[in-house]
Amino acid sequence: MTLTCKWFTNFENSKFDQSRAGRGNLLPPDDGASIKCAGRTCEQLDIEGRKVAHWRKPEPLSGSFTVQLIGRVSTYPHVKQYLGDGTRTVLMEKLLSVRKAN
């Protein structure tokens, strides 16, 4: 399914804060989702994020982005693995677009 997610990333976290399909939110309010990638989609996400942010530093990308992707959201919550983690997982099967979040 096509999802639109708000991606937050910095030197210690990378997660989706919000995800929706159509007009419906797929994550509980005030929660987020870990990112799981099929193939090289995580690498593509980083490359595209760096391009739209004009990120030239060797350090990890930092910022908030709106990402459109084809993927799935887990239906069952998991225990947070680290501070700032969400209780769901989004499987990113194909990256469609990345832009800076407003």
Q: 63-82: per-residue pLDDT in tens?
A: 999 999 999 999 888 888 77
Higher pLDDT, 70 or 85: 70
Report pLDDT for 39: 96
Return the domain boundaries, the chain.
2-100
What would the pLDDT profile of 5-64 be if each residue is shown by its tens digit?
A: 999 999 888 999 889 998 788 888 888 899 999 999 999 999 999 999 999 999 999 999
- How many Å apart are CA 68 and CA 41, to the nearest integer? 12
Distance CA 10, CA 55 (A): 12
Across the chain, where does the E strand assignment appear? Answer: 2-9, 14-21, 24-25, 33-37, 63-73, 88-100
pTM of the model: 0.89
